[in-house]
Chains A and B, each alone.
Chain A
Amino acid sequence: MSLTVFTVAVLCTSLGAGVVGAILGLGGGILLVPILTIFYGVDLHYAMGASIISVIATSSGAAASYLRTGLSNLRVGLFLVVATITGALTGAFLAGVVPTRWLELILGLALSYSAYTTIRQLADELPEDVSTDGLAIRFDLEGTYHDVRLQRDISYRARNVAGGFVAMYGAGVLSGMLGIGSGAFKVLAMDYLMRLPMKVSTATSNFMIGLTAAASAGIYFSRGDIHVLIVAPVAIGVLAGAYLGTQVMAHMRNTTVRKLFLPIVVYLALSMILRGLGIHLL
């Protein structure tokens, strides 16, 4: 493939990945790695390097806008990222000690249950009957944003902060052990356990994924997995796409975001169960 064709094609693909990533709070790796390897023939190492850059680009492009408009909650993000990074460090140490196939199976089953709960919540625009949580009050884990679609200000406060923190730690452990991104798990924990509005969950996840990706980006760089000619169109496309995605997401309902998120959870659940059974999709 000529460099010109490759650059233009990857730029367009990354634009789409950036839009989806910004709306759903995912880094884009779940979309970009299979596309780059299967459709463009990029080596897996270079694709992973491009993926880590796409996570940071999505995060920078989307979180800059979401933080300004109040959709992304900086305090919730920083509070939870402590658990995620601690978990990732624990997972990195446990890798090779604990059999990963059992973990993949357990994770797949947990994600299947999450998919089931997501289906049950599909029609819930905003969380109802959110009880008071001592930790949420103590750490000021609440906020208000203006919902363009609903044309009113939405105030919210986190529930079950301890449960969310533990779930984030678990997601970090699995992420560190299995080498998978954890944007989807962050969104699920904030949406299902902490009962934050879906749009706040995906927007806050966008801020968090940039931090966790930044921790490992240097490793990919020093290993030589980041090829400028492959990553450059990815970074430009994803950044532009992430900005577009924030504009689109602002006008969406929480229920629409959740409906778009559901196939990702189902795919991840299936993928993990198959990996646990020794079948790798990629």
Chain B
Amino acid sequence: MYALQQEHCLVMPAFAKIQDYELNLSNQFVNAETIAALSEYILDQTALLNEKVSK
């Protein structure tokens, strides 16, 4: 589980650079564990962002 950082920012796995609404994993080997971590990051960050927007 990722620890909450300042301003509710989480840490993103280094292999996953989301920029300008785009995620490109081309030619990067990804196993089940790294994808599980990325998916968890996406879910957590999305929840935080939705919470921020709804306030």
The answer on A and B forming one complex is no
Q: Which residues of A does B touch, CB under 8 Å?
A: none
